[in-house]
Structure 1
Amino acid sequence: MSWLYLGIAVVFEITVALSASKAEGFTNRKWTAATLVSGAIATLFLSQALLTFDVGVGYALWTSVAGVGIVVIGALSLGERPSGKQLLGIGIVVAGVVGLQLSGAA
């Protein structure tokens, strides 16, 4: 169940980033509200996942998977083009997440 909670937390963390990008420095009330509500939900589900995961591992998984998700959505939906160095960095992050999983830490 903790993996499900972590997955939900990741989805809402991605929503935080996408909403914040449209909040115009928190001057757009609708997107500001979406950012804050999504952040609260992401934190709620992360806290549930951390009942099972070690905090360092759970937080690392949450931030890194959400970060990769944001880059992928940016590339596929927003027309953003990651550079070769950025793709290399994403690959390193993915390898780190896989390493955490294989180590039994998560």
Structure 2
Amino acid sequence: MQWLYLAIADIFEIAVAIAAGKAAGFKHRGWTAATLISGAIGTYFLSKALLTFDVGVGYAIWTSVAGVGITLLGALFFGQRLNWRKALGVAVIIAGVVGLQLSGAA
């Protein structure tokens, strides 16, 4: 169940990043509200996942998966450039997350 909680937390963390970008420094109320609400929901599910995961490992996986998701969505839907250096960074992050999983983190 902790993996489901962590996956939900990641989805909301990605939503935070997208909404925060659209909020334009909290100038747009709707996007600001979406940022804050998504952040609260994501943090709630992260805290549920951290009941089972080691805090450092769970947080590392959460931020890494969200970072990869945001980077890929930015390239696919928001016209952000994904060059070989970014792709290499994404690959290294994925390898790190797999390494944490293989270490018996949860």
Structure 1: runs of 5+ lacking an equivalent? none
Q: State the TM-score, normalized to the length of structure 1.
A: 0.98
| 2:38 is equivalent to residue 38 of structure 1 | yes
| 2:50 is equivalent to residue 60 of structure 1 | no
Structure 2: runs of 5+ lacking an equivalent? none
Give me the whole-angstrom Cα distance separating, in 2, the residues matched to 1:76 and 1:28: 24
Shift, 1:55, TM fit: 0.2
Q: Following superposition, which runs of at least 4 residues in structure 1 exceed 4 angstroms of deviation?
A: none
Shift, 1:32, TM fit: 0.3
CA RMSD of aligned residues (A): 0.6
Q: State the TM-score, normalized to the length of structure 2.
A: 0.98
Report the identity percentage. 68
CA-to-partner distance for each residue in 1:61-102, whole Å, 9 max, x for gaps? 000000000011111111212121111111100000000001
Give me the whole-angstrom Cα distance separating, in 2, the residues matched to 1:81 and 1:26: 25
Secondary structure, aligned partner of 2:20: helix
2:48 maps to what in 1? 48
Secondary structure, aligned partner of 1:5: helix
2:96 maps to what in 1? 96
In the alignment of these two chains, the number of paired residues is 106
